Each structure stands twice: as structure tokens, then as C-alpha cells.
Amino acid sequence: MATLILHPGKEKSVLRRHPWLFSGAIAQLEGRARPGDTVDVVSHEGRPLARAAWSPASQIRARVWSFNAEETVDHAFFKRRVAAAVARRAGLPELAGQEGLRLIHAESDGLPGVIADRYGDTVVVQLSTAGADKWRTAIADSLQKATGCRRIYERSDVEVRGLEGLEAVTGWLYGAASDEQLVIEENDVRMAVDIFAGHKTGFYLDQRDNRRRVAALAQGRRVLNCFCYTAGFSLQALAGGAREVMSIDSSGPALATARGNLALNPQLDAARATWLEADVFAALRDLRSSGDRYDLIVLDPPKFAHTAAHAERAARAYKDINLTALRLLAPGGLLMSYSCSGGVSAELFQKIVAGAALDAGRTARIVQRLQGAADHPVDLAFPEGDYLKGLLLQVD
């Protein structure tokens, strides 16, 4: 095994159990390692620190598998880590009965580069780093053993694989190939999940609790759901008794699935739903000039900033939509607003929204701070994992 020697002092973050080793921390690789190989990480003085996956193409040159420098990284290692991640979810009553569930949340479950989501008896895995890619078979086998699932599909077609020098990989890893439409039940609403072409692994599981919150708030309200994707928030609003729900997304296929999802739920009043295929930035302005008012607005945009370096441009975009949305609220109305940009902290996001309220001339109060669901935990040693933050605001 090759040995990764750090620059003097650069062991500090590893000692605080942060799993990333950036190129600037590395003095030398002693021995030979291919992408994804496991390397020993040692301090400049030769103190053993960790075992990590080597990613020569990435600025994050290595990601720690184990902070126990003696732990062997083999098939059995993945079996232990995967079983522990599945058991953690089983230990949380709110997650126990979920048909759609994130089983492995990468670094925060001790498995950098590995995402696994369960949709009924199908598990979808996404491997985004050289290390994760190398252990595909062990990870899939461990997932099957830990869950007893019928099928495992790989959706490793994320852009970040490019930074690792990896090509896109998709296909069945376990069980008979199937192109059957998957449907899960979430908060008593049925939702189709397109594991082949949908976003992420097919569904935004991280918003499960927040969608339920919308159901609880929707009674009698006029709701506007911006960036609706497959209508998760919209259908929860209808289930919660919304008077009317307008949903906006720029993606035709997403809206087609959204309409299909409404049809999957005959208990909901379809006459209360309207759909708009449009750019939210422009649509909000148009709604504003038409004099429309809403009682509850959801803003769940895509990631505007991929890294902190893009935070400024992202800030302008967040401010723009929040400003117009605040202006569109009726007195006493509610705004549920999110950022899923890793480069925008909760503190910065709150400042941006505060600036938007000021410019909109609306007094707004935080009713609740919102985050991802419990199957998307954040390891305290890895604050980068805390990507989803939201505010529930009430205006005067």
C-alpha cells in the first residue's frame, strides 16, 4: 500500500475527523497508487492517521475511509459500514416505515462518494469518486445483504465524476432488469420515481419532512409552488386542503410526471391544480404585475452555487426570487424558502432573505428553520454535508 505523507501541521483536519485531504495538504505519495486505491495517510513525522481512497485527478486528492489507521478496507469493511448506515435509519421511528429512504448519505455515513436511496424493493446507488467506483461490487453486495432488496440500479451519471476522471456509468447491478415505473408513498401521497432519468436518484427525498409541513399549513390557502419538479410540495398542499395550487417548473418532462403524479392520487381535487411551464424568475414578475396574491409560496430552486466561489452570483439569484415572492404574499402569508447550495451557509442565506424582505418593503419573521430529513444526517465533523437550509417566514 502506498503512503500519503502530509505537510507539517496538515494533519490537524484529519485529527478533527474531517474526511477530505486537499492537494495543498499533501507533501508526497510514497509508492504507487492507482485511482481509487487505498493509501495509508501519515503526518509529516510519520504518525499513522487514517486510510483513504486516492483520487489523483481531483483537488480533493484523498477521502478518508477510516480514521483507524489499522482498519483494513476490504469487502468486509463495506459490509460493516453499509449495515451500520441501514441500522441507523431503522433506529429512527420517523424513518422506519418510509418506502422512499436514503440509506447512505456519503461522508456523513462514513462512505465518501457513496449515495444509496431505496424506493420500495429497488435500491439506487450513485458512486461519485474514484474510491467509491472501485468498490462498486462490494457496495452493491453489502446493500443487497443489508436490505434484502430485489434490485439494485446504478445511476453514476453525476457531473462531479468528471473531476475524478471517471465516465458516467448506469445499469443494473443486481436482480433482473426492469423498466417498470416505480411508485412510492410519501406522507399518504403516491409519487412516481424515475430512477433512469429523474434528478438525483429520481426523487428529492431530503424534502420529505418539509413537504409534510406544507400539508399542515395549506388548509384554505392559495399556494404557489416554484421549482415544483414532480409536484411533491404541490400534492402535499392539495392533501392539506389548499384552495388552489399553482406549480411552476421550466422542465416539460418534470411537469408531465407532476401531472401523472396528481392522477396517481384520485383522493386529491385535481380541479384545484394549475401548472405553468416557465422560468420562475420571469413568471414571478409576471404574476406580480398581474396583481396576483398568494397565501403560501414555496421556493425550492436548484443549486445556484456549486462552491463558495459562486456564492455571490447565487446570492443575487436567491435575492431576486425571494424579493418577488415576498411581494406576492397576501398579508399574513407564508414563505417557505430554501437553498441547497453547499457554498451558501445558513447564516448567509438568512442575510440574503433579510435583504430581500427589506427591499420588498415587507416585515417578515422566522417561524421555523428548516433542514433535510433525518435520513440525510450531517456528521458534525463534516459541516460541508449541511447543504439544505430553509426558512419558513410569515409576513405582516
Residues that bind ligand SAH (CB under 6 A): 204, 207, 227, 229-230, 232-233, 248-251, 254, 279-281, 300, 302
Q: Where are the beta strands (DSSP E) in the chain?
A: 3-6, 20-22, 26-30, 38-42, 48-54, 60-66, 100-105, 114-119, 122-127, 151-156, 169-174, 182-186, 189-193, 222-226, 244-249, 273-277, 294-299, 329-339, 364-371, 389-395
Q: How far is the CB of 35 from ligand SAH (least distance, A)?
A: 31
Q: How far is the CB of 317 from ligand SAH (least distance, A)?
A: 9
Please tell me the distance from the alpha carbon of residue 244 to that of residue 329, in angstroms, as a whole number.
14
Q: Which of 258/395 has CB closer to ligand SAH? A: 258
Please tell me the distance from the alpha carbon of residue 86 to that of residue 267, in angstroms, as a whole number.
33
The catalytically annotated residue of 149, 226, 228, 340 is: 340
Reference 156, options 100, 195, 204; nearest CA is: 195
The full length of the chain comes to 396
Q: How far is the CB of 132 from ligand SAH (least distance, A)?
A: 24
Q: How far is the CB of 116 from ligand SAH (least distance, A)?
A: 19
DSSP 181: P
Q: Which of 86/124 has CB closer to ligand SAH? A: 124
Q: Which of 78/229 has CB closer to ligand SAH? A: 229
Cβ-contact 158, 303 below 8 angstroms: no
CB atoms within 10 A of CB 153: 24
Q: Which of 25/262 has CB closer to ligand SAH? A: 262
Beta bridge partners of 151: 122
CB atoms within 10 A of CB 190: 18
Q: How far is the CB of 252 from ligand SAH (least distance, A)?
A: 9
Residue 340 known to be catalytic = yes
Q: Which of 172/281 has CB closer to ligand SAH? A: 281
Active-site annotation, residues: 340
